[in-house]
Amino acid sequence: MDLFGEEKLEDHNPQTISVVPCAPVPGPYDYLLPDQEEAQAVQPGSYVTVPLGGREVIGIVWGEGQGGVPLKKLKRIGQVLDLPPMPEPMRQFLVRAADYTMTPLGEMGRLATRAPDLAEPAPTKRVVVAGSLVLEKATQARAKVLEIFRHLADGREDFTITRMELARAAEVGAGVVSGVIEAGALRETLAARDPSYRRLDPDRPRTELNEHQAQAAQELQEAVRRHAFEPVLLHGVTGSGKTEAYLEAVAECLRQGRQALVLLPEIALTDSFLSRMENRFGARPAEWHSAANGVERRRCWRAVAQGKAQVVVGARSALFLPFRDLGLIVVDEEHDGGYKQEEGAIYHGRDMAVLRASLSKAAIVLASATPSMETWANAQAGRYRNVNLPVRFGAAVEPTIGAIDIRADKPDKDQWITPTLAREIAQTLGRGEQALLFLNRRGYAPLTLCRKCGERFNCPHCDTWLVSHRFTGIMQCHMCGHTEKEPPKCRECGSDELAACGPGVERLAEEAAARFPQARLSILSSDMAPSAAALREQISVIANGEADLIVGTQIVAKGHNFPNLTLVGVVDADLGLQGGDFRAAERTFQLIRQVAGRAGRAQKPGKALLQTVAPDQPVMQMLVRNDETGFLQIESRGRAQVGAPPFGRYVGVIFSGPDEAKVWDIAQQFARASGPLREAGIQLLGPAPAPITRIRGKSRVRMLLKAPKNIAVQPAIRAWDARIRQRGGVRVVYDIDPQTFF
């Protein structure tokens, strides 16, 4: 057997093979090959089952055995699974992603095999297909079965239908169908249980693109045609037709016979996007996200592996699907924080998408109305091609943005809508148009306190306040999910004078309902819709104009198209700037522009009003002046000066454990052992108490590592990490390129 080329290691044993188990272990490890016949089927990328710590897990064949372990200590591969082997670029991707994010390779393998039943044969069902199609001396019922079958098959030789479906269609009993099968006119056979995806047609007639869009589409299509790593920033104001343009890139990818992946930051957006794809290509593409059920995931994974799924629309985890020949990745709303995975394998979906595209020789389109500083800087430096869509499509114009100084234009006590904003809302509603009140805070109030004794209601497991949710009558910790019933009395002194402090969307909605009793109110908050379907329903209600006044959190900022919405009121424009990290200004700028972009998407012009205590702040000024370039330039200069990302590299290190003293002890040991970091030119700040000192009962201490951009930080961190072996139950997590700093 010579699977892996001529070169053989001295101590390599031909009976062994290395396998990455899909489990949170580093790997690959050596295993013994299965018996002769099965061994024939093994090749690099084959999926197998292997024993690991008393369990049987799926593994990915990596290469020949590495040796160094006595043969009799090795375990044997279980079965070789009947799946197309994982292609080489995908295996490279897993290695590089594991290295970069400092995640065990096996954990990446696990992300790549997250579909049910992979170890089982592809599920099948019994179906009826054409047989001789002749019946002699047929009863009327049997003749009808055959006639209906012919009618449904409509000339297609590969037409299948279940026995029950056919009986129902012919309005006969299942026994009659069986009779036709016994007579040989029809046959029964096994077919794949999961239906295949309908073919997408890139060449259907489509509405004409305007001049800018046509130019952009052409550049994107050229990038796809090159079959090479082609990163592109598609930068255009909301409503300019970015989606229209990149759908043409998808079309080109289809023509090239390669697969395409479209990533969206938010599941709630998937449905309307899929309909849009269906309009353009005549069929719905595959979808992949956490809300998809097991059957859909199984269907999608297998079809992607077989190269039969042409396009996948999905969440960041879709990056780990085993595409056979990936020609294009689109990352829509590329600036969105939702692309960062913060638990388990910590990775940034956008950055991993770029890596995946580079290894697959694919084009990648990063689309945004408000690009991240990282992507913008890459485009400025010429590393990414820059494609612009400067104006809104058709008659729509960009909304004007104004500031309202809350200090001068005060709302009443325990109210949040200023008189000016209230007047504007009344006028908008009076014209029969929709208004949106935006507040990026879920629940009723962020803090409940006792007026008598000052007791603050906090989470028993975290260093956080409980957020009151009046609609459901509970108080919730937004960190760990802990909930308790809203107490009627203070738990300390028994007083019933409890005060809700500050606004959440629910409280804002209460105020809006009181002020505008005639308006049909809709509250859009991720935690208030009972399901993804309910949320979609609510969004379509708004889009259809069946709501007048919308009160929403950041979920309304993303991608939705509400044609009759002309006024956006940002209730607390300063919210994101308070106590924030170095990206606070960037995120505020992006979020407010995104929300403002919901206004005036159709014929009527839109307006956004920002309530702020600091209208003179540079961010507010540049928002009002609609000066994105100015903002990005000033912001990037500031970051370059202090070596902040994207001009330098940050790594967050989080120590956590049940015993606070032990957590500090380990953090200090790490600090003292920082030689490998210093030698590599990496600066260490901390340890310091994390801004949230306790989450889920675990105490938390943070460090921040700062390094120049040109240093590969991972090897130095690995050497550092290896110095402290005894950790007494303290967990150490590395967050490369951190997005959050709590």
Instruction: Name the residues that contact ligand ADP, by CB under 6 A.
Output: 207-210, 213, 236, 238-244, 393, 561
DSSP three-state, residue 436: strand
| Residue closer to Zn ion (CB basis): 671 or 692 | 692
In the list Zn ion, ligand ADP, none, the entry touching 482 (Cβ below 5 to 8 angstroms by class) is Zn ion
Q: Is residue 434 within 8 Å of 562, Cβ to Cβ?
A: yes
| Residue closer to ligand ADP (CB basis): 395 or 514 | 395
DSSP three-state, residue 660: helix
Phi, psi of 610 (to 5 degrees): -105, 115
Least Cβ distance, residue 541 to Zn ion (angstroms): 33
In the list Zn ion, ligand ADP, none, the entry touching 441 (Cβ below 5 to 8 angstroms by class) is none
Q: What is the DSSP letter of 733?
A: E
Q: How many CB atoms lie within 10 A of CB 517?
A: 8
- Give CA–CA dist 336/527, Å, rounded: 19
| Residue closer to Zn ion (CB basis): 478 or 520 | 478
As given in the structure block, the two tokens for residue 406 are 């809350």
Least Cβ distance, residue 438 to ligand ADP (angstroms): 18
| Residue closer to ligand ADP (CB basis): 238 or 440 | 238
Contacts to Zn ion by CB under 5 A: 450, 452-453, 455, 459, 461-462, 477, 479-480, 482, 490, 492-493, 495
Query: Which residue in the block uniquely carries the two structure tokens 């020789």?
Result: 361
Least Cβ distance, residue 481 to Zn ion (angstroms): 7
| Residue closer to ligand ADP (CB basis): 177 or 277 | 277
- Give CA–CA dist 522/436, Å, rounded: 9
Contacts with 629 (C-beta within 8 Å, 6 or more apart), sequence order: none
Least Cβ distance, residue 245 to ligand ADP (angstroms): 7
- Give CA–CA dist 78/700, Å, rounded: 42
- Give CA–CA dist 367/539, Å, rounded: 23
Q: Is residue 385 within 8 Å of 369, Cβ to Cβ?
A: no
In the list ligand ADP, Zn ion, none, the entry touching 480 (Cβ below 5 to 8 angstroms by class) is Zn ion
In the list Zn ion, ligand ADP, none, the entry touching 459 (Cβ below 5 to 8 angstroms by class) is Zn ion
Least Cβ distance, residue 313 to ligand ADP (angstroms): 14
Least Cβ distance, residue 443 to Zn ion (angstroms): 14
Phi, psi of 703 (to 5 degrees): -130, 155
**E strands, 246-325, in order:** 259-263, 286-288, 311-314
Helix axes 242-255, 211-225, angle to 10 degrees: 30
In the list Zn ion, ligand ADP, none, the entry touching 181 (Cβ below 5 to 8 angstroms by class) is none
In the list ligand ADP, Zn ion, none, the entry touching 492 (Cβ below 5 to 8 angstroms by class) is Zn ion
In the list ligand ADP, Zn ion, none, the entry touching 236 (Cβ below 5 to 8 angstroms by class) is ligand ADP
In the list Zn ion, ligand ADP, none, the entry touching 241 (Cβ below 5 to 8 angstroms by class) is ligand ADP
| Residue closer to Zn ion (CB basis): 172 or 663 | 663
| Residue closer to ligand ADP (CB basis): 244 or 433 | 244
- Give CA–CA dist 615/613, Å, rounded: 6
| Residue closer to ligand ADP (CB basis): 45 or 559 | 559
DSSP 173-207: -HHHHHHHHHTTSEEEEEEESSPPPPPP-TTS--P
| Residue closer to Zn ion (CB basis): 127 or 445 | 445
Q: Is residue 684 within 8 Å of 671, Cβ to Cβ?
A: yes
| Residue closer to ligand ADP (CB basis): 243 or 310 | 243
In the list ligand ADP, Zn ion, none, the entry touching 490 (Cβ below 5 to 8 angstroms by class) is Zn ion
Q: What is the DSSP letter of 465?
A: B
Candidates 522, 526, 515, 521; CA nearest to 476 is 526
**The amino acid at 355:** L
- Give CA–CA dist 468/486, Å, rounded: 7
Least Cβ distance, residue 213 to ligand ADP (angstroms): 5
Least Cβ distance, residue 350 to ligand ADP (angstroms): 17
Least Cβ distance, residue 538 to ligand ADP (angstroms): 19
Within 112-156, residue ranges assigned H as helices are: 140-153
In the list ligand ADP, Zn ion, none, the entry touching 243 (Cβ below 5 to 8 angstroms by class) is ligand ADP
DSSP 351-398: HHHHHHHHHTT-EEEEEESS--HHHHHHHHTTSSEEEEE-S-STT--P
**The amino acid at 322:** P
DSSP 560-594: ---TTEEEEEETTTTGGGTT--TTHHHHHHHHHHH
In the list Zn ion, ligand ADP, none, the entry touching 227 (Cβ below 5 to 8 angstroms by class) is none
Q: Is residue 267 within 8 Å of 289, Cβ to Cβ?
A: yes
In the list ligand ADP, Zn ion, none, the entry touching 455 (Cβ below 5 to 8 angstroms by class) is Zn ion
| Residue closer to ligand ADP (CB basis): 212 or 298 | 212
Least Cβ distance, residue 495 to Zn ion (angstroms): 5
In the list Zn ion, ligand ADP, none, the entry touching 210 (Cβ below 5 to 8 angstroms by class) is ligand ADP
- Give CA–CA dist 701/731, Å, rounded: 10
In the list ligand ADP, Zn ion, none, the entry touching 119 (Cβ below 5 to 8 angstroms by class) is none
Least Cβ distance, residue 448 to Zn ion (angstroms): 11
| Residue closer to ligand ADP (CB basis): 136 or 208 | 208
| Residue closer to Zn ion (CB basis): 14 or 697 | 697
As given in the structure block, the two tokens for residue 683 are 């600066």
| Residue closer to Zn ion (CB basis): 421 or 695 | 695
Least Cβ distance, residue 236 to ligand ADP (angstroms): 5
Least Cβ distance, residue 597 to ligand ADP (angstroms): 8
Task: Measure the CA dihedral 278/274/357/195, to 10°.
Answer: -70
- Give CA–CA dist 483/466, Å, rounded: 8
Least Cβ distance, residue 9 to Zn ion (angstroms): 52
- Give CA–CA dist 549/568, Å, rounded: 10
